[in-house]
Amino acid sequence: MSEIVITNPANFDAPRPTIPLPRGPIPAAPPKIARRSIDIKIDGQAISVPEGSTILDAAKELGIETPTLCYLESLTPVNVCRVCVVELEGSRTLVPACSRKVEPNMSIKTDSERVRLSRRIVLEFLASSVDLSTAPNMREYMDRYDAHPERFGETRATVAQPIKIDNDLYVRDYSKCVLCYKCVEACGVDAQNTFAIAVAGRGFSARIATEFDVPLPDSACVYCGNCIGVCPTGALMFKSEYDMRQAGTWDEARQTQTDTICPYCGVGCDLTVHQQDGKIVRVTSPLDHSVTHGNLCIKGRFGWQYVQIQPADPPEE
Amino acid sequence: MLWGSNARETHPIFFHHLLKGLRNGAELYVIDPRRTSSAQWATLWLGLDVGSDISLANAVAREIIAAGLHDEKFIRHATSGFDAYKAHVEKYTLERAERETGVPAAAIRKMAHAYAKAPRAQLCWTLGITEHHNAVDNVVALINLTILTGHVGRYGSGVNPLRGQNNVQGGGDMGAIPDRFPGFQHVENDEIRAKYEKAWGVKIQPKRGWHLSDMFEAMEHGALTTLYVLGENPADSEADRHRTLKRLTGLEFMVVQDLFYTKTAELADVVLPAAAGAFENEGTVTSSERRVQRVRRTVASPDGVRDDLDIIFDLACRLGHNWGAPDPETIWNEVRSLSPMHGGMSYRRLEELGGIQWPCYDESHPGEMFLHGRFWSDPLIGPRAPFSVVEFEPPVDQLDEQYPIRLTTGRKLDDYNTGVQTEKFASPLRREVALEVSPEDGLHYALLEGERVRVTSRRGSVVAPVKFDAALRPGLAFLSVHAHDQVSTNDLTIDAVDPRSGTSEFKATAIRIEKLQPV
């Protein structure tokens, strides 16, 4: 189909609605500043990565799998779990791979005896005190590092506490919390900037809490669910998922995921809809999506329930 | 600049991006009668009187010109009508604007300088600008500022109307406006019309149709007697509800196609149960950043409920046009063949690239992250951007002794439009709909929080509980639009319509507040 051509377009003092505008140049973003390459060695293999990369990035590039708990690509590393530590030549202590930036000529061991021992102890401490039954990666990590939390005995201290169900959307079970701070980060400067939760208390009594530990409906929470989106252990859970788990009907093997676009405002958030047996059971968003970075608002995260409403009987004449 | 937008609540994930900018040192100016949750993040909040936007914009322009901060080179290169504009805004001194808008002159001056001096600046607006009787004037008053400063057509700079619905952009793009075919091609252009007539094998009327408000006018005069409503709930959403209901019930025949038995559906002769677009249909929607994205069927529709396409194809068949079996991708490819700006957006590319921003002319075109780059081409490509001379006009529904309070309306974070979808989930944030007033007015009228009061406008009257909100200035009240079964906000609002956009002045109603029991 031929295009409508404008003759002498610059003669117009204003666009005319009936005449299509001509094409302009294709817009471009300013060029990215080139980052210099840094040469390092990991487990004896040489690799060159852009300045600003972390040891974790470099290890990933080499196909070396590093366990992480408090790390997430969309959040600022807080270095609390220490499960990703690696041995850096010349360093007195082990360093966290998730946040330590590469420096020229670093020599790193990711699987030395010292690293394995440290990771094992971290996993044992966590698994001895926290209920990790809904943390999918933990079992695998514990097998890999031969962790035996049961060696601390039956009288070991735990963070077991009553589950908090104070609203229809979220369940908070801090018996399952490893204090990775991801929820705090997502609620804070890394995404939502609502600051409804923070770490309260010290030492073994440290826990995630709202201000003065009030129930969520009395807090600043706006129910975006972005904390649930980043929780690695299931301590924070959608009520829909919790209810199904309680009823024994939650079965991820029967679930499929399909991406669509949120039906509400015009921002265009990508929703990953998890369905089981023809019912929506959970909504998430991809971490690498340019619009959401994994984050949603209350409507995107929970506003799908209208889809499940079954048609009522036709109204009477 | 966020002008007449509470993006923190109405576009929460867009606001995440904005917050990243603030964390990186950007400044935010919020122009809104209410000190909203967006305004709380602002470098400066300009709490103007409802409907005084043009006075403010013109004064900003005057200040920029007076301080020599306008982009003379850009103005000469790419715009027209500057001299007349300059002479016009000369009348809008800071003092006059302070009087007309209620914003201190120093604040206007500070914003004007910050905007003009910024290396990059975005001007975003939403319904605070467009739900007025002079909506288009408001919009061009803001566009004037962008071409005055050259903040348009460049990376990081531009005008950005934040779209309020997931496919309101796409609806317009697809020709759901009275004078356009898909891709904004004008129906009154003979060549374009001939192209569509050839493709569709039908004669197309050479004149534009009616927009929504024209249609409601036409119902009043009996010029429109049959209505087919798809996914809209005008019985609740139109301004001046009493008049709306009179018009809808006066129709000879109305079909409503919707997910739910809405207030509008209750008035219909035929109701067609439709599937939930974003979750049960295949197709595309277009976001606020012009990004065409795929929606997909995630679950099956309930029994007896059909995809919109199925319904429309079946209807066409009954009317004597067999369009074959409905297939979203085939239809999309027809759009691509007729609308140049969608030409390169195959389903495959939409999938691979996670959506494409129009225009995208062919399959080697990456899509365009911003528009109007042509203004910076030398020599200039295409027509100039005209300055528009627009005058401040107060809202139609004027305040007086009988109706001394300005009521404005808007959305809440957890609800959406007439609440048809959002009322189905149990939001812990949701409270009973209340008339929100300033604490000062509460004191003035001797009101208690939660007390039920009568709220009366020149068109109707409702009873609502009172809630105090320190974000409101004295003389300003707020009602949400989500739950007309609780408080029928649109019984109060005025259908003073902008003749060009067809939008009613939802944002400016004159009301009075009366206690139900004497003190």
Q: What are phi and psi of A131, to 5 degrees?
A: -80, 110
User: Across-strand partners of B46?
Assistant: B31
In a mutational test of the B interface, the residue from A76, A261, A302 whose CB has the highest number of chain B CBs within 10 Å is A261
Min CA distance, B421 vs chain A (Å)? 6
Domain boundaries, chain B: 2-162, 168-357, 405-515
Which residues is A255 bridged to in the sheet?
A276
Peptide bond into B386 cis (omega under 30): no
Distances A47 to A62, A63, A85 between C-alpha atoms, Å: 8, 12, 19
Q: Does domain B168-357 sit in CATH 3.40.50.740?
A: yes
Which pLDDT belongs to residue A2?
Answer: 46
B206 burial type by CB count under 10 A (0-12 exposed, 13-18 middle, 19+ buried): exposed
Asked if the C-beta of B88 comes within 8 angstroms of chain A's C-beta atoms, the answer is no
Angle formed at CA A37 by CA A36 and CA A42, multiple of 5 degrees: 155
DSSP state of A30: P
Rounded to 10 degrees, the C-alpha dihedral A78/A82/A86/A90 comes to 80
In which residue ranges of chain B is pLDDT below 50? none
pTM: 0.95
Domain A36-158 coded CATH 3.40.640.10: no
Of the candidates B51, B490, B501, which has an alpha carbon nearest to the alpha carbon of residue B239? Answer: B490
In chain A, which residue's Cα lies nearest the Cα of B292?
Answer: A268
DSSP label at residue A303 = G
Please compute Rg for chain A using Cα positions: 25
Q: How many angstroms separate the CA atoms of A71 and A78, rounded? A: 8
Q: To the nearest whole percent, how much of chain A has pLDDT over 70?
A: 94
Q: What is the pLDDT of residue A1?
A: 43
CA A260 and chain centroid, separation? 19
* Contact status of B185 with chain A (Cβ, < 8 Å): yes
CB atoms within 10 A of CB B336: 21
Enumerate the residues of chain A whose CB falls inside 8 A of the CB of residue B186: 17-19
Check CB contact under 8 Å for B382 and A291: no
- 8-state DSSP, A81: S
Residue B211 CA to residue B252 CA, distance in Å, equals 20
pLDDT in tens, A257-315: 999 999 999 999 999 999 999 999 999 999 999 999 999 999 999 999 999 876 655 55
Q: Return the structure tokens found at B391.
A: 């005058």
Nearest CA in chain B to A220: B429
Closest CA in chain B for residue A186? B16
Per residue in A190-233, pLDDT (tens digit) is 999 999 999 999 999 999 999 999 999 999 999 999 999 999 99
Given a contact cutoff of 8 angstroms between Cβ atoms, the answer to whether B13 and A224 are in contact is no
Q: Which residues, in sequence order, are bridge partners of residue A87?
A: A109
Structure confidence at residue B331 (pLDDT)? 97
Task: Tell me whether strands B435-437 and B476-480 are parallel, antiparallel or unpaired.
Answer: antiparallel
Give me the amino acid identity at B188.
E
User: Is A258's CB within 8 Å of B273's CB?
Assistant: no
pLDDT band with cut points at 50, 70 and 90 for residue A317: very low
Residue A23, class by beta-carbon neighbours within 10 Å (0-12 exposed, 13-18 middle, 19+ buried)?
middle
Q: Which residues, in sequence order, are CB contacts of A25 under 8 Å at separation 6+?
A: B373, B374, B377
Q: Are the Cβ atoms of A18 and B427 closer than 8 angstroms? A: no
- Choose the closest CB to A223 out of B189, B296, B428: B428
- Whether the per-residue pLDDT at A9 is higher than 80: the answer is no
Interface of B with A in 363-402 (CB under 8 A): 365-366, 368-370, 372-375, 377, 379-386
Ranges of H-type helices in B174-259: 190-200, 212-220, 234-237, 241-249
Q: Do B425 and A305 touch (CB under 8 A)?
A: yes
Tokens of A55: 């040891």
DSSP state of A54: B
**Residues of chain A with C-beta less than 8 angstroms from the C-beta of B379:** 10
Beta bridge partners of A8: none
Please state which CATH class domain A170-307 belongs to. Answer: mainly beta
Contact between residue A162 and residue A201 where contact means Cβ atoms under 8 Å apart = no
Q: What is the pLDDT of residue A301?
A: 97
Q: Where are the domains of chain A?
A: 36-158, 170-307
The whole-number pLDDT of residue A311 equals 61
Where in B218-307 does DSSP place strands (E)? 226-230, 253-258, 270-273, 283-286, 291-295
Contacts of A197 (CB under 8 A, 6+ apart): A183, A184, A187, A208, A209, A210, A219, A221, A227
Summarised one tens digit per residue, pLDDT across range A222-250 is 999 999 999 999 999 999 999 999 999 99
Please give the Cα distance from B348 to B333 (Å, whole number).
Answer: 11
Task: Give whole-number Cα distances, B366 to B218, B291, B342, in Å.
Answer: 44, 12, 12
A:B CB pairs within 8 Å: 238
Do strands B291-295 and B283-286 pair parallel, antiparallel, or not at all (unpaired)?
Answer: antiparallel
- Strand pairing of B2-3 and B122-125? parallel
Question: Please, which residues bridge with residue B358 across strands?
Answer: none
**What is the CATH T-level fold of the domain B2-162, as seen in this structure?**
Dimethylsulfoxide Reductase; domain 2 (3.40.228)
The Cβ of residue A122 has, within 10 Å, a number of other Cβ atoms equal to 21
Nearest CA in chain B to A265: B165
Tell me which H or E stretch contains B185: strand B185-186
Q: What is the DSSP string of B47-106?
A: -PPTT-HHHHHHHHHHHHHHTT-S-HHHHHHHEE-HHHHHHHHTT--HHHHHHHH---HH
- Kindly state the tokens that stand for B49: 């009187």
At A113, is the secondary structure helix, strand, or coil? helix
Q: What's the CATH architecture for B405-515?
A: Beta Barrel (2.40)
**Strand, coil or helix: what is A112?**
coil
How far, in Å, CA of B251 to CA of B229, rounded?
12
Taking only the tens place, the pLDDT of each residue in A86-128 is: 999 999 999 999 999 999 999 999 999 999 999 999 999 999 9
pLDDT at A11 over 90: no
The first and second tokens of residue B469, run together, are 């909100």
CA-CA distance, A4 to A76, in Å (whole number)?
51
Provide CB contacts within 8 A for B175, sequence distance 6+. Answer: B181, B182, B183
Query: Which of helix, strand or coil describes residue B115?
Result: helix
User: What is the residue type of B214?
Assistant: D
What's the start-to-end Cα distance of chain A, in Å? Answer: 52
